[in-house]
Amino acid sequence: MGSRKAISLSSFDRIGQAVPAPAWFGVSAIFHYLGPSFAVLLFPAVGVLGVAWFRIAAAAFLFAPVTRPWATLRDAGRTARLRLVTLGFCLAAMNTAFYLALDRLPMSLVAAMEFAGTVLIALWGMRTGRNLAALGLTIAGVVLLIDVKWESDPVGLFFAFLNAALFVCYIVLGHRIAEEGAAGGVVRLGAAMAIAFLFILPVGLVQAARAFAAPGLLLAGIGVGICSSVIPYISDQLAMSRLPRASFALMLALLPASATVIGAVVLGQIPGVRDILGVLLVMAGVAIHQPVAEPREGIADAA
Per-residue model confidence as pLDDT tens digits over 24-66: 777 887 787 667 666 766 788 888 899 899 999 999 999 999 8
Instruction: Work out the end-to-end distance of the chain between its first and last CA atoms, rounded to an integer number of angstroms.
Output: 35
Q: Name the DSSP letter for residue 209.
A: G
Tally the domains of the chain. Answer: 1
The number of beta carbons lying within 10 Å of the beta carbon of residue 169 is 18
What's the rounded Cα separation, in Å, for the pair 290 and 131? 6
Question: Phi and psi at residue 26, in whole multiples of 5°?
Answer: -60, -40
Q: Is the pLDDT of residue 149 over 70?
A: no
Average pLDDT value over all residues in the chain: 76
Cβ-contact 171, 248 below 8 angstroms: yes
Question: Phi and psi at residue 95, in whole multiples of 5°?
Answer: -65, -35
What's the rounded Cα separation, in Å, for the pair 282 and 212? 42
pTM above 0.85, yes or no: no
> pLDDT grade, residue 263 (50/70/90)?
low
Lowest mean pLDDT among 32-36, 79-83, 211-215: 32-36
Print the domain residue range for 260. 2-302
What's the rounded Cα separation, in Å, for the pair 172 and 162? 16
- pLDDT, tens digit (0-9, with 9 covering 90-100), for 3-15: 445 445 666 666 6
